[in-house]
């Protein structure tokens, strides 16, 4: 098992634990039509799948062209309060953000923006995955849940690769950026506060 902690200014991310699931299940509130939230048993099955996927993560090194896997992370405040989760998959040197979700009690506190920046620092930094590309699938229809996602990503992911229509959820835009585009964005004076946030990485085989 890999010891991984992505530490930011106010938040950190680490692999999902079974004991997280009672809280993380609630992060699905409002995500699917009808407010469907996984049951306790579905949460256990979800953790089992996440844990198996996390076990394939290698010790600290950059991505290579042959890498393929998933990374499932719990997002916590620095006082260890769980606020949500982040799921990524990596295909060669491309990292695809599959889902970021925050529990209802913690929504609207600007945590998504910090998760967004912390994730990209880990993806693109040479001490992290050192990826070449990052891909996201973003909603295009305004809603309480969608608006922070659209707003936070709009200045970084500016070109649409293609679109997908999900039943009962609307049209989503698939977008990609290069490491150079991320560097230009984070170096802009408008992002000076986010760039200056604390970032440390603990990543080793245990």
* Domain residue ranges of the chain, discontinuous segments joined by +: 2-199
Between the alpha carbon of residue 124 and those of residues 57, 129, 131, the distances in Å are: 17, 6, 5
Strand 94-102 relative to strand 82-91, pairing? antiparallel
Among candidates 111, 159, 176, 166, which has minimal Cα distance to 139? 166
Would you tell me the crossing angle of helices 111-124 and 146-154 to the nearest 10 degrees?
50
Model pLDDT, residue 204: 85
User: What's phi and psi for 77, nearest 5 deg?
Assistant: -75, 165
Q: What is the pLDDT of residue 6?
A: 97
Task: Tell which CATH classification among 3.30.1360.120, 3.40.50.11540, 1.10.3720.10, 3.40.630.30 matches the domain 2-199.
Answer: 3.40.630.30
Strand-by-strand arrangement of the 94-102 sheet? 160-166, 170-178, 133-139, 94-102, 82-91, 68-77, 11-15, 2-7, 200-205
Structure tokens at 94: 């491309």
List the beta strands (DSSP E) in 8-145: 11-15, 68-77, 82-91, 94-102, 133-139
Report whether 135 contacts 124 (CB < 8 A).
no
pLDDT for 198 equals 94
Residue 181 backbone phi and psi in degrees, to 5: -65, -40
Spatial CA neighbour of 94 closest among 117, 114, 113, 66: 66
Looking at residue 58, what DSSP letter applies?
P
- pLDDT at site 34: 65
pLDDT in tens, the chain (206 residues): 578 999 999 999 999 999 999 999 999 988 766 677 889 999 999 999 999 999 999 989 999 999 999 999 999 999 999 999 999 999 999 999 999 999 999 998 989 999 999 999 999 999 999 999 999 999 998 888 889 899 999 999 999 999 999 887 889 999 999 999 999 999 999 999 999 999 999 998 65
What pLDDT is attached to residue 206? 57
């Amino acid at each position: 098992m890999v010891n991984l902690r992505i530490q930011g200014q106010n938040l950190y991310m680490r692999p999902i634990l079974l004991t997280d699931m009672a809280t993380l299940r609630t992060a699905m509130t409002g995500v699917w039509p009808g407010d469907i939230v996984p049951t306790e048993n579905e949460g256990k099955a979800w953790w089992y799948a996440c844990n198996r996927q996390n076990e394939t993560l290698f010790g600290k090194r950059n991505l290579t062209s042959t890498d393929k896997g998933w990374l499932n992370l719990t997002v916590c405040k620095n006082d260890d309060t769980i606020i949500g989760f982040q799921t990524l998959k990596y295909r060669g040197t491309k990292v695809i953000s599959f889902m970021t979700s925050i529990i209802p009690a913690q929504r609207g506190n600007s945590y998504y923006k910090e998760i967004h920046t912390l994730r990209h620092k880990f993806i693109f930094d040479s001490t992290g995955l050192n990826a070449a590309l990052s891909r996201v699938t973003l909603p295009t229809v305004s809603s309480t849940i969608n608006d922070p996602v659209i707003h936070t990503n709009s200045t970084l992911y500016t070109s649409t690769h293609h679109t997908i229509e999900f039943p009962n959820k609307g049209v989503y835009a698939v977008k990609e950026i290069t490491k150079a585009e991320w560097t230009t964005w984070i170096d802009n004076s408008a992002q000076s506060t986010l760039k200056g946030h604390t970032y440390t990485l603990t990543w080793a085989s245990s």
